[in-house]
Amino acid sequence: QVRLVESGGGLVQAGGSLRLSCAASGRTLSSYAMGWFRQAPGKERDFVTTIRWSSGTTVYADSVKGRFTISRDKAENTVYLQMNSLKPEDTAVYYCAATDFGGLPRKPDYYAYWGQGTQVTVSS
């Protein structure tokens, strides 16, 4: 069992920045990928980015490439999502997730463990 706790959401103006954190506990993460997804009201949960814990390899959705950066701190067992140049369309509940599937999965179905979510609201 992997427990995930997100923090760092909030309200920010367009063009601003936020950093989300996801603290993981319960398992050694060396064989896991850690992802961020987001879900706006009335929409499906969308892939944002994911990182292989061991290698640090990453992949991003086109909509956030160049603006968002995922990273992990092995000592703190924490994954971060640095979000810059935020846009109103980035408004959503952001979820951290963990999977022991290989590669860099983009589909939510591959992720067995989820955090509770944190709200990000970007005003225009």
- N residues, the chain: 124
Q: At 90, is the secondary structure helix, strand, or coil?
A: helix
- Residues paired with 66 in a beta bridge: none
Helix (H) / strand (E) containing 4? strand 3-7
Region 82-102: what's the mean pLDDT?
Answer: 97
Q: What value does the mean pLDDT take over residues 89-98?
A: 98
pLDDT bin (cut points 50, 70, 90) of residue 27 is confident
Task: Express each pLDDT in 30-59 by its tens digit.
Answer: 999 999 999 999 999 999 999 999 999 999
Cβ pair 12, 18 in contact under 8 A: yes
Contacts of 11 (CB under 8 A, 6+ apart): 121, 122, 123
Contact status, residue 64 vs residue 48, Cβ threshold 8 Å = yes
Q: What is the pLDDT of residue 60?
A: 98
